[in-house]
Structure 1
Amino acid sequence: MDEITNTATFYLIPILLAAVLVYFLSKRSNLPGPFGLPILGHLPFLGKNPHLTFSKWRRQYGDVYQIRMGSWPSIVVNGVDLIKQSLTQADDFSGRPGLFSGRNITGGKNITFGRFDNSWIKHRKIASGVLYSFANARKNPVEEIIKQEVGTVVAMFKSKGDNCFDPEEILLFAAASVIYQVCYGKSDHVEYDEEFKSLITSSTDFNDFANAGNPVDMMPWLRVFFSSKVNKFLNIIERVERVRKQKVAEHKTTFDPNNLRDVADGLIAAVQSIPEVEMDELGITEEQVLSTLDNLFGAGFDTIASTLHWSLLLLASFPDVQEKLYQEIYDVTGNTRSPCLSDKSTMPYTEATCSEIMRFSCIFPLALPHCTTRTTRIGTYTIPEETLVFFNFHSLTHDKDTWGDPDAFRPSRFLGDDGQIDKNMLSRLIPFSAGRRRCVAEFLARMEFFLLLTGIVQTCQIKLPTESVPDLEPVFQLSLKPKPFQIVVRERDLGCKKE
């Protein structure tokens, strides 16, 4: 009997492997692309820097090609023209794949990971309206919050004296403080808020989890083998939602529709203004709308903190750029006041520098994966419905045909001969994506970045330690982060302009 069993097994295994191979080969479309493995697809070949691997394959197979990510048939789109065309092509690429992670955040009904449907469209419209009205109020509370945080950052920098230090933690706390107060109300002592501390811990844990990767997303059948990892993820999500529900409950006890204090109040008012019949017809719920607060905090603080972290490294590495930036700030403010949002239109070099920082760092080289909502086309290729789509934004920000010297840090590339912003070059940069999935809080992020950066540079000169050689190679951890570095801060002489 054992001999019969062994013989059957000997013949059965090759047959099963052949069947699997035939199945995966039959799933390949007419798109070009590298050959992957059955079951795993191209996951084993992505390396430590998937965006660079995608760019390498671009040189072999063109701007759009197919791969397979575990169980998911996928395509990769490269280059500014095809990326912008796809993102703005009706709603064909506005979907999100039903990955395990996304399905378990607010039941999959949220702005970041939610399925593209009428409920999601209404949700985004509500969130966008609340954010816009709050950030553009006559007495702008957001600008006041950010300026207060600038003062905190500068004070902490100055407290270091002549000592070298890594600014990452200070910047992370500042960015988290801003978005927390935008969501839940201005506070002079947010650092003592236990819910704030809990959110920072949970968000940091979430980023660490995401950086390590979740194999269940690409191969759902692995869930049985990674139960502890899955449970850890669910625990992080539950902690974040628990804080939000507690803060919303507190807001409801003091809610006044005639005095909306923050985004939480704005979302509560928005829900109350929608007729129950319309809510039912759209399939939208109060929980779904209020989950916007989780999305804003989760995406808002790490993104800004990472961009500012890159900013200080780049300005310390290129002191000539830092001094030109300072001179423009001085020319506009006279150093008699802090920079305001209204100054932005009169600071072209500052805008060019902010754009170049975002281009050079490209902190989200692949962003979140999209999914086709129906069978569509890119160029001459047909893309089936429910295809996973990766947009290689790094191929956009580091394209030699577009930028000439993409590996150089050169803010002047965004300026015309007249010293003003070159709108054509600026249009080639889409750090907040485009189309339906464009970042809903883009204007808030740009405001925060501008005010924090100019506020720091106005009062602080950022230097690298003596004989320190800058290392501008990023580390891929879902996002691109700078390697650990230290700076030295010198307080600027506010009484004079450098000639």
Structure 2
Amino acid sequence: MEWDDLRLCACFVIVLVILALKFRLRKSTRGLQELPRLPSLPFIGSLLSLRSAHPPHVLFKKLQEKYGQTYSLMMGSHKVVIVNQYSHAKEVLLKKGKIFAGRPRTVTTDVLTRDGKDIAFGDYSATWKFHRKLVHGALHMFGQGSTTIEKIICTQAQSLCSIMSEKAATETSVDVSPDLTRVVTNVICSLCFNSTYPIGDPEFEAILLYSQGIVDTVAKDSLVDIFPWLKVFPNADLRLLKQCVSTRDKLLLKKYEEHKAQYCDNLQRDLIDALLRAKHSAENNNTAGMSSEALGLSDDHILMTVGDIFGAGVETTITVLRWAIIYLIYHPEVQKRIQEEMDSKLGRERTPLLSDRGSLPYLEATIREVLRIRPVSPLLIPHVALQDTSLGNFQVRKGTRVIVNLWSLHYDEKEWKHPELFDPGRFLNSDGTGVTNPSSSYMPFGAGVRVCLGEALAKMELFIFLSWILQRFTFSTPPGQPPPLLEGKFGVVLQPAKYKVTVTPRSS
């Protein structure tokens, strides 16, 4: 056979293979429907349909009435699927968690994470999986369970109670946010840096400023994230974000260089020491000869991991504590029942411990209800489909962004009885002696491979801080002032508006 004939046969085989693959793809997607879609215009996509006085999570829930529980829209050139129901959310997060494990690259998150070198916003890859495994190992090495972490949180809870006692003696209305922020931040500083900050410390004040700046500017689907070319024009939010990230990175780098200079295999004071040990261990056991960068162990990765711990462990916890106090003010009967439960199980003298969680089911149920009715992140960080797939009977193409609307899941009337009402009892068993989960649609920290890195830490902090302060104080609206607002400020977390409370010490 001539050489030209052989080449012709080879081309013929290749064409047959391609046709077979296309046929298999068509067969696999046969019968799937296109998602309902909001009206879309060239270049701007569905932006005109998204103009609303409602924040995005509320608007997306309302749009279900017209487009169904799961629908799509265009954000500029990007196709986005909005998931408002549990069955499809379960597919995205759990059943097909790895298929939907991608993350979109945006201008603001790239600035925040040095082009995706963190865990929360980093794209799904072998490096990302190794990186997350490393962090879990480092947290375990540092924490050795939760005993060490519990001691750190209890120390800050004691500090919080002392400050509240002083303010209760001299002030009729107190803004509790700065004190909550300081103690929660000090927990993370203890974990990461083995150091804490006193009131008024300049470095601590810098942390507060950059943290708030990041919350106000990142991952909000701003125009620069939808149309990246806009970054060449003056942008106040982007400029603020870069300033805040620069301040954060200078602090993190300073702490990191100190730890590298003092590193010793037998010394493990905090999370950075644990990460450095894990890095050295991985490099020493690296039989494939891969670089630290390839392993996901570069200095940038470690710095961004510590930045993630700050983001996951500070803003989430502070926000939930502030919402919890608001709902306790609106529902004094709930506050009283928690206090009576603690009085009967612990008394007034012994301070609560993590081991008491099983003995205080009503407090645990209240924390869960706060996380349901005011989810910290009502729109989970967007996922990206890494291959052609489906959601129920709907077709989803590779590269499609998927947003799980946690707000809709937590307010679904098919899953929750009177979801607009604050009712901790919905999380109690029939006789009120234990905590239960009445709906699988409850997932305040997400689920699956992309579950929030700070979930376990946040739950520990919420229990200890709330139990300590409610054992000692009662919160109420200051005389002559309106109660705090229940509408939140949308961002990477759903923050309540500023408010003040009356803090009344409980009698012995």
With normalisation by structure 2, the TM-score equals 0.86
Query: Does the 8 Å CA contact 2:358/2:434 hold for their aligned counterparts?
Result: no
Cα distance change, pair 347–427 in 1 and its aligned pair in 2 (3 A) = farther
Equivalent-residue separation in structure 1 for 2:41 and 2:352 (angstroms) = 55
Q: 1:75 is paired with a residue of what secondary structure?
A: strand
Cα distance change, pair 249–490 in 1 and its aligned pair in 2 (3 A) = same
The reply on whether 1:99 has 2:106 as its aligned counterpart is: yes
Query: Does the 8 Å CA contact 1:175/1:304 hold for their aligned counterparts?
Result: yes
Could you tell me which residue of structure 1 aligns to residue 225 of structure 2? 217
The reply on whether 1:373 has 2:389 as its aligned counterpart is: no
Cα distance change, pair 53–294 in 1 and its aligned pair in 2 (3 A) = same
Q: Deviations over 1:45-67 (max 9, x none)?
A: 24241111111111222221110
Cα distance change, pair 225–71 in 1 and its aligned pair in 2 (3 A) = farther
Query: Does the 8 Å CA contact 1:97/1:369 hold for their aligned counterparts?
Result: yes
> What's the CA shift for 1:427?
4.1
Could you tell me which residue of structure 2 aligns to residue 241 of structure 1? 249
Could you tell me which residue of structure 2 aligns to residue 362 of structure 1? 375
The reply on whether 1:121 has 2:129 as its aligned counterpart is: yes
Cα distance change, pair 46–272 in 1 and its aligned pair in 2 (3 A) = farther
Paired residue type of 2:259 = H
Could you tell me which residue of structure 2 aligns to residue 79 of structure 1? 85
Paired residue type of 1:273 = S
Query: Does the 8 Å CA contact 1:128/1:441 hold for their aligned counterparts?
Result: no
The reply on whether 1:393 has 2:391 as its aligned counterpart is: no
Q: 2:414 is paired with a residue of what secondary structure?
A: helix
Q: Deviations over 1:190-217 (max 9, x none)?
A: 4465443332221122123238863211
> What's the CA shift for 1:129?
1.9
Could you tell me which residue of structure 2 aligns to residue 304 of structure 1? 317
Q: 2:422 is paired with a residue of what secondary structure?
A: coil
> What's the CA shift for 1:42?
2.5
1:68 to 65, 68, 74: 74
> What's the CA shift for 1:107?
2.7
Equivalent-residue separation in structure 2 for 1:435 and 1:211 (angstroms) = 21
Cα distance change, pair 230–488 in 1 and its aligned pair in 2 (3 A) = closer
Q: Deviations over 1:242-261 (max 9, x none)?
A: 21111011112222322311
The reply on whether 1:454 has 2:467 as its aligned counterpart is: yes
Q: Give the paired residue count.
A: 464
Could you tell me which residue of structure 2 aligns to residue 35 of structure 1? 39
Equivalent-residue separation in structure 2 for 1:111 and 1:463 (angstroms) = 39
> What's the CA shift for 1:116?
0.6
2:194 to 170, 185, 191: 185
Cα distance change, pair 379–306 in 1 and its aligned pair in 2 (3 A) = same
Equivalent-residue separation in structure 1 for 2:204 and 2:477 (angstroms) = 32
Equivalent-residue separation in structure 1 for 2:373 and 2:277 (angstroms) = 40
Query: Does the 8 Å CA contact 1:96/1:371 hold for their aligned counterparts?
Result: yes
> What's the CA shift for 1:347?
1.4
2:477 to 456, 464, 489: 464
Cα distance change, pair 142–122 in 1 and its aligned pair in 2 (3 A) = same
Cα distance change, pair 136–42 in 1 and its aligned pair in 2 (3 A) = farther
Question: Which shows bigger deviation, 237-246 or 405-414?
Answer: 237-246
Q: 1:389 is paired with a residue of what secondary structure?
A: strand
Structure 1 segments (4+ residues) deviating >6 Å: none
> What's the CA shift for 1:234?
2.6
Q: 1:67 is paired with a residue of what secondary structure?
A: strand
Question: Which shows bigger deviation, 367-376 or 261-270?
Answer: 367-376
Query: Does the 8 Å CA contact 1:177/1:190 hold for their aligned counterparts?
Result: no
Q: 1:423 is paired with a residue of what secondary structure?
A: coil
2:183 to 162, 174, 190: 174
Paired residue type of 1:185 = N
Equivalent-residue separation in structure 2 for 1:452 and 1:192 (angstroms) = 22
> What's the CA shift for 1:407?
0.9
Could you tell me which residue of structure 2 aligns to residue 482 of structure 1? 496
Let me know the Cα RMSD of the aligned residues.
2.2
Could you tell me which residue of structure 2 aligns to residue 151 of structure 1? 158
Could you tell me which residue of structure 1 aligns to residue 21 of structure 2? none
Equivalent-residue separation in structure 2 for 1:286 and 1:191 (angstroms) = 34
Cα distance change, pair 256–62 in 1 and its aligned pair in 2 (3 A) = same
> What's the CA shift for 1:229?
4.5
Could you tell me which residue of structure 2 aligns to residue 11 of structure 1? none
Could you tell me which residue of structure 1 aligns to residue 12 of structure 2? none
Gaps of 5+ in 2: 1-32
Equivalent-residue separation in structure 2 for 1:281 and 1:488 (angstroms) = 52
Q: 2:99 is paired with a residue of what secondary structure?
A: coil
Equivalent-residue separation in structure 2 for 1:328 and 1:135 (angstroms) = 30
With normalisation by structure 1, the TM-score equals 0.87
